């Protein structure tokens, strides 16, 4: 039973490490995409979002 207990502890540690590494990788990817979106040489994302918001506002005015 001692060896089984040690193997269970090792499995839980490996799964916790894998879940933590996946979580950290996901957060780093989100921060990386956010920093790319914040760069001034890519204004198309903000321009399209603003134009879409204005179009939705004008559509609401007409309806």
For the entire predicted model, the pTM comes to 0.45
* Structure confidence at residue 47 (pLDDT): 53
* Structure confidence at residue 14 (pLDDT): 96
Separation between Cα atoms, residue 51 and residue 54, nearest integer Å: 5
* Structure confidence at residue 58 (pLDDT): 59
Which ranges constitute the DSSP H helices of 1-63?
A: 2-38, 44-62
* Structure confidence at residue 49 (pLDDT): 53
Longest dimension (CA), the chain: 74
What is the tens place of the pLDDT at every residue in 1-60? 556 688 899 999 999 999 999 999 999 999 999 888 877 665 555 555 555 555 555 556
């Amino acid at each position: 039973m001692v060896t089984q207990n040690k193997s269970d502890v090792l499995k839980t540690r490996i799964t916790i490490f894998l879940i933590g590494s996946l979580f950290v990788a996901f957060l780093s990817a989100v921060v990386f995409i956010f920093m790319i979106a914040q760069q001034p040489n890519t204004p198309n994302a903000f321009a399209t979002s603003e134009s879409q918001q204005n179009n939705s506002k004008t559509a609401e005015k007409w309806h």
